[in-house]
Amino acid sequence: MTMNDFSLKDRLALVTGSSQGIGFALAQGLAAAGARVILNGRDKVRLEAALQTFKAMGFKGIGLDFDVCDPVAVTDAIDQIEINHGAIDILVNNAGIQWRQPLEEFPPEKWTSVINTNLSSVFFVSQAVARHMIPRRKGVMINIGSVQSELGRPNIAPYAASKGGLKMLTKGMAIDWGKYGIRVNGIGPGYFKTELNKALTEDKTFSDWLTGRTPLKRWGNVEELAGAAVFLASDAASFITGHILYVDGGVTAQL
Residue 236 has pLDDT above 80, yes or no: yes
Indicate if 159 belongs to the active site. yes
Going by the DSSP 8-state scheme, the letter that residue 221 receives in this structure is P
What ranges do the domains of the chain cover? 3-248
| DSSP 3-state of 191 | coil
Residue 1 has pLDDT above 70, yes or no: no
Other CB atoms within 10 Å distance of the CB of residue 20: 18
pLDDT tens digits, one per residue of 21-49:
999 999 999 999 999 999 999 999 999 99
Q: Does residue 255 or residue 170 have the better pLDDT? A: 170
Average pLDDT score over residue span 61-77 = 97
- First-to-last alpha carbon distance for the chain, in angstroms, is 36
| pLDDT score at 143 | 98
User: Is residue 41 a contact partner of residue 19, using CB atoms and an 8 Å limit?
Assistant: yes
| pLDDT score at 155 | 94
Partner residues linked to 182 by β-bridges: 139
Measured CA distances, 104 to 98, 100, 118, 141, 156 (Å): 17, 12, 21, 35, 11
Going by the DSSP 8-state scheme, the letter that residue 31 receives in this structure is H
User: Is residue 34 a contact partner of residue 90, using CB atoms and an 8 Å limit?
Assistant: no
Give all strands (DSSP E) within the chain, no chain letters. 12-15, 36-40, 61-64, 90-93, 139-144, 182-189, 244-247
User: Is residue 25 a contact partner of residue 9, using CB atoms and an 8 Å limit?
Assistant: no
Give the fold, CATH level 3, of 3-248.
Rossmann fold (3.40.50)
pLDDT band at 60 (very low <50, low <70, confident <90, very high): confident
pLDDT tens digits, one per residue of 149-172:
999 999 999 999 999 999 999 999
Q: Whole-angstrom Cα distance, residue 118 to residue 107?
A: 17
